[in-house]
């Protein structure tokens, strides 16, 4: 009886954790993290807006995930490489903001996160 209850509790905990991991809105809302969705020389747009708590003037770190050349056992396949910083110039709506490059380089699909 006790083993059956333990299995049910473990299954419920696993389901809750799995559901939490699948909810990307959580990372947007509490970590203020997004992605560069458009990057031209005169217009860079990121998917961070009002709903994420974005404000004009905030500095976001930019980074890119690249394949890791390290072939050692246990090495991660991808590594996080910092690429620079962007500044929020205009909040377009609840989902998007226009930014300008403060330093470094920015490409479409780079990740952005509020500087801590």
pLDDT tens sequence across 65-85:
888 777 676 667 788 899 999
Q: What is the largest CA-CA distance in the chain?
A: 66
Residue 4 in tokens: 């059956």
The class (CATH top level) of 32-114 is mainly beta
pLDDT digits (tens, 9 = 90+) for 16-55: 544 444 444 444 444 578 999 999 988 999 998 877 788 9
pLDDT band at residue 88, thresholds of 50, 70 and 90? very high
Per-residue pLDDT at 64 exceeds 70: yes
Contact 96, 50 (CB under 8 A): no
Whole-Å CA distances, 78 to 8, 55, 105, 107: 35, 31, 19, 17
pTM to 2 decimals? Answer: 0.67
């Amino acid at each position: 009886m006790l083993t059956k209850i333990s299995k049910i509790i473990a299954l419920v905990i696993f389901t809750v954790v799995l559901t939490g991991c699948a909810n990307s809105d959580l990372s947007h809302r509490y970590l203020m993290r997004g992605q560069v969705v458009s990057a031209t020389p005169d217009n860079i747009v990121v998917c961070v807006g009002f709903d994420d708590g974005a404000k004009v003037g905030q500095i976001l770190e930019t980074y890119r995930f690249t394949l890791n050349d390290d072939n050692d056992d246990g090495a991660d396949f991808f590594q996080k490489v910092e690429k620079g910083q962007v500044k929020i110039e205009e909040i377009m709506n609840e989902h998007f903001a226009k930014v300008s490059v403060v330093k470094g380089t920015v490409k479409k699909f780079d990740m952005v996160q509020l500087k801590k």
